[in-house]
Chains A and B, each alone.
Chain A
Amino acid sequence: MSTTLVWWAIAIYIIIALFIAYLSRSGKQTNMTSYFLGDRNLGGFVSALSYSATTYSAFMLVGLAGLTYNGGVGALGFELVYLMGVSLVAFFGPRFWKVGKKFGYVTPSEMLGSRYESKLVSIVVALFSCLFLIPYSAVQLSGVGYLLQGVTNNKISFTTGVIIATILAIVFSYIAGIRSVAWTDSLQAIFMIISATVVVIVLVNGLGGFGGFFHTIETEQPEALTVPGNGFWSFVNFLGMTIPWFFFSLSNPQVSQRLYMPSSLKSMRHMLMGFMIFGLVYTIVAIIWGFSASIMFPNLENADLATPMVLQSDLVPPILGVIVMVGIMAAAVSTIDSILLTLSSLFARDVYGNLSKNASDRKQLQIGKIVIPIIAILAYFFALLEVNLIAVLSVASSAGLLVVVPAIIGTFFWKRGTAAGVLTSVIVSGLIVIIIELTQTKPFGLASGIWGILLSTFLFVVVSLCTKQPEKVAEDFFS
């Protein structure tokens, strides 16, 4: 792919996105709710697109396509189980939204701290979120690095790609907080899905149309259409990868914080339905993409290279290839900027806000703005460590965040839950997940996420039962 063409495409993307970010500035962003939640006044359409762009990242067309390339259709099941899990929003969304509005919560960890009457709960949950989401952002950054390096045959270096993505993420979140993030997200979501869908249609047509496409897979690699298939998607592996993602919409603060933002429940419904339809289409596109790669280049050593290879193939016209490449970059940046914004709000609200004696709302906002670039730079250094299989690290982060899920469920459904229960379950299980990931072991064949959810549920219940429940929990949590 011509390097000049790539640079032009990136330049045009940046100019349009900056323009949209600039337009999104409205009102005075002088308090936490305004800067981080858009005054709880986001419409359904923007919410849906922004939720989509935040959730779907470079992982889809690089990592998920790579998983399809490696193991076949199991990747579809994996991603769609996640999507089915988003229906949890139908049950938790209105609950988050109502208490958020009533008590003025800005972050999910703030809500937990308030519900369990413990500042320490807020601080610990916020810190754990940072601990796991900074690596997750780093994975996204390196996704952009690999992509640019791959499509230009090393003419644009890995580091250059990572630097561009880091700077864009900082700028998009800085200009107007969640407003610039939501609007640039929306633009990027539309761009991501249209460009990827067009290319997939071109690919399928080039590979013999729908019938011919599947006929080739059915004859040349029939095991790719079943699980466990070639063994990659053994049931235990499938379980280990899907469980953390099933609860993603609750466990990951960059999306659960979105539940505070819609202007009404009707807007939230539009967000949910819009997202689910977007997700279904984008997932199918990414899977067919991976299958196309396995038909065209069956013997790649590294599955992460599948996407750059497809983009440079003869079937994809160069202009279209460059457009999709920018679409993938946009997918990564739109995920990172939301995470940056959420993490800085967690730090400012829950860590600084609880530890400092004179942490006024205005002061918290100042701290939040200072923290945005600091977190971005941390993620940048993590990205330079150049990890190998993008999907594996990405799943590791969501496995780590999974340990907060029992506490979140308990917030609304179990009055008996206590702060001691939350703290023990989050800290102990979180550390166990980290140890399992660091040592790359699978005790009894089970992945870290499964241990995380089992252990955190057990500890949350047992420790809560052994300790005294909060005296007066607001009824609003249980209505």
Chain B
Amino acid sequence: MRTHEGKWALTILFIVLLAYVLPYTVFTNIEKWYGSFLLWIILTVIVIIITYFFTKDWGNEE
């Protein structure tokens, strides 16, 4: 269970790192809306999708 959880966490961490690195390197000279603007939005959407699947089994237990 723990390692399973760790994989999800590492994936999210990796995306967050991309959100720090890419805009300051690859995208630093792309002065267009499809540069850092779009990149950050896409990375966030990916994190939201990962979170969606990770929490899929949370049940009705009260």
Interface residues of chain A, those whose CB is within 8 Å of chain B, are 73-74, 76-77, 80-81, 83-85, 87, 90-91, 94, 214, 217-218, 222-223, 225-228, 235, 238-239, 242, 246, 263-266, 268-269, 272-273, 276-277, 280, 284
Contact = CB atoms under 8 A, between A and B. Distances in A.
A204 B18 CA distance: 29
Given A81-B16, A84-B19, A272 B37 contact: no
B51 A227 contact: no
Interface string B4-34: 0100110010011001100110011111110
Given A76-B37, A272-B55, A284-B41, A227 B48 contact: no
A84 B18 CA distance: 12
A226 B50 contact: no
A265 B23 CA distance: 36
A84 B36 contact: no
A218 B23 CA distance: 17
A238 B23 CA distance: 11
A269 B58 contact: yes
A94 B15 CA distance: 23
Given A76-B40, A266-B58, A280-B41, A214 B24 contact: no
B61 A228 contact: no
Nearest to B19: A81
Determine which residue in A76, A90, A246, A276 has the highest number of CB atoms from chain B within 10 A of its CB, and name it.
A90
B31 A218 contact: yes
Given A80-B44, A91-B5, A227 B28 contact: yes
Nearest to A217: B33
Given A84-B44, A264-B60, A77 B19 contact: yes
A238 to B, nearest CB: 8
Contact of A264 (B12, B44, B61): B61
A269 B31 CA distance: 37
* Interface residues of B, dominant DSSP: helix
A242 B20 CA distance: 10
Contacts of A228: 24, 28
A277 B48 CA distance: 8
Contacts of B51: 87, 90, 272-273, 276
A284 B9 CA distance: 25
The residue among A84, A228, A269 with the most chain B CB atoms within 10 A of its own CB is A84
B43 A80 contact: yes
A77 B32 CA distance: 15
A84 B16 contact: yes
A410 to B, nearest CB: 16
Given A80-B19, A266-B60, A284-B41, A226 B48 contact: no
A452 B29 CA distance: 32
A266 B45 CA distance: 21
A279 B57 CA distance: 23
B45 A227 contact: no
Contact of B35 (A90, A225, A242): A225
B25 to A, nearest CB: 10
Contact of B31 (A81, A90, A225, A264): A225
A365 B62 CA distance: 25
A235 B27 CA distance: 13
Contacts of B29: 226
B36 A264 contact: no
Contact of B40 (A80, A214, A239): A80
Contacts of B31: 218, 222-223, 225-226
Given A90-B51, A225-B35, A280-B48, A77 B40 contact: yes
Contacts of A246: 16
Given A77-B23, A264-B59, A84 B28 contact: no
Contacts of B32: 214, 218, 225
A223 to B, nearest CB: 7
Given A84-B47, A214-B33, A228-B24, 20 more contacts: A73-B35, A76-B37, A77-B40, A81-B20, A83-B47, A84-B19, A87-B12, A87-B47, A91-B5, A91-B9, A94-B58, A218-B31, A226-B28, A226-B29, A227-B24, A238-B24, A263-B62, A264-B61, A280-B44, A280-B45
